[in-house]
Every structure is written in structure tokens, then in C-alpha cells.
Amino acid sequence: MTGDFRVSVLRLGHRRERDKRITSHLGLTARAFGADEVILSGEEDDSALETWNSVSERFGGALECRFEAKPMSWLREFAKSATVIHLTMYGEPWRDVTGSIPKDKPAVIVVGGTKVPAEVFSIADHNVSIGNQPHSEVAALGVFMDSWLGPIEESTIFSGGQIEVVPSERGKNVVNHEEE
């Protein structure tokens, strides 16, 4: 990995009512597995951005999140200098390809909601499947990020939060830095 490496997750086609929880979970999964940025597109929805910001405030880290009104224009432009990874059940098996996806320049992982525009398949440098069966964008993102990025340094990435969870064999061990 080099200093230019940065991971964004682009959520395409969010539907405010129908996708409320799954989009919220998608952003939290992106954050937990090491993304630097989550970009929401489709229907504008402040509540998703508020949830992600609120979790970062409480649990730390520097996740950036924003709404993008023109995701395909943004993606076309971003693709000129970045790696575009599209998660799709029609793609190549993730175990075969994660080792060859570069970590020396910015990357975006694209996940769908409603029907994904066909152009995404051609813009993508890598169309990657997590198995060839339909399932969930949240599951696909978690498996892909863990496989591609490997274990992340939680204590470094999520420093500065109000709450720190200390791994424990039993029960909940939580440090509240606000009370110190």
C-alpha cells in the first residue's frame, strides 16, 4: 500500500424508504472494514449520512461521507485515475482476483441497489463476484473488503472516538473516553 491508496464505497441507486436500513448497514460495514469514504447516490437521504457521522463520532475514525447527485459522471471521471471495482454476482470469483487488484492508487468499490446501469460493467477495472448467487450488498462488501484489504488496525483507524470497545472473551468491556 502507498500513501495515495484510499478506498471509497459508492452506493448506487439508494431508495429512501425501501433501502433505509440496508444502506445504513452498508456504510457502517464499509467503515468497519476500512473504507475512507462512503458516497451515497440515488435518492437523497440525510438520515444515512447522519447515522454514519454519528457512529464515527462515537466510535472514532475519520470516515468521510457525502451525497453524489451524478454518480455516473463522478465515476467516469474518477476512473481516469483510480481503480474501479464493481461487486456483482456476474463477475469473476473474488478469491481469484483480489490478489491482483492494486493498492497503490485510489479505489472505489461500487455496489448496486436498484438495477445497476450496464455502463458500470465496462467502466469497472474489476467486476467481482462473491459467489455467483444473488445475496446482499452488505455481505458482498464485507467479504470483499476483508479478502482484499486483510485485517485492519482497528486501534489506529478508529482512534479519537468517545467509546472504545476492548475485545473480551465474555461480556462487554467498553472504555468511555468522555468520562476520563
- Name the residue nearer to ligand SAM (CB basis): 122 or 133: 133
Using a 10 angstrom Cβ sphere, with 0-12 exposed, 13-18 middle and 19 or more buried, the burial of residue 69 is exposed
> C-beta of 162: minimal distance to ligand SAM in Å?
32
Question: Which residues, 6+ apart, have CB-to-CB distance to 61 below 8 Å?
Answer: 31, 157, 158, 159, 160, 161
- Name the residue nearer to ligand SAM (CB basis): 117 or 163: 117
Per CB under 6 A, 85 contacts ligand SAM: no
Per CB under 6 A, the list member of 69, 81, 122, 134 interacting with ligand SAM is 134
Per CB under 6 A, the list member of 34, 42, 71, 112 interacting with ligand SAM is 112
Give the interface segment with ligand SAM, choosing from 32-40, 41-49, 81-89, 95-103 (CB under 6 A).
81-89
> C-beta of 60: minimal distance to ligand SAM in Å?
27
Residue type, 66: R
- Name the residue nearer to ligand SAM (CB basis): 6 or 15: 15
- Name the residue nearer to ligand SAM (CB basis): 48 or 130: 130
Give the interface segment with ligand SAM, choosing from 48-56, 58-66, 71-79, 107-115 (CB under 6 A).
107-115
For the chain, the DSSP string reads: --TT--EEEEEEEE-TTTTHHHHHHHHHHHHHTT-SEEEEEES--HHHHHHHHHHHHHH----EEEE-S-HHHHHHHHTTTSEEEEEEEEEEEHHHHGGGS--SS-EEEEE-SSPPPTHHHHH-SEEEESSSS---HHHHHHHHHHHHH-S--HHHHTTT-SEEEPP-SSS--EEEGGG-
Interacting residues with ligand SAM between 135 and 174 (CB under 6 A)? 135-137, 140
Per CB under 6 A, the list member of 131, 159, 165, 174 interacting with ligand SAM is 131
Binding site for ligand SAM (CB under 6 A): 87-89, 111-112, 115-116, 129-131, 133-137, 140
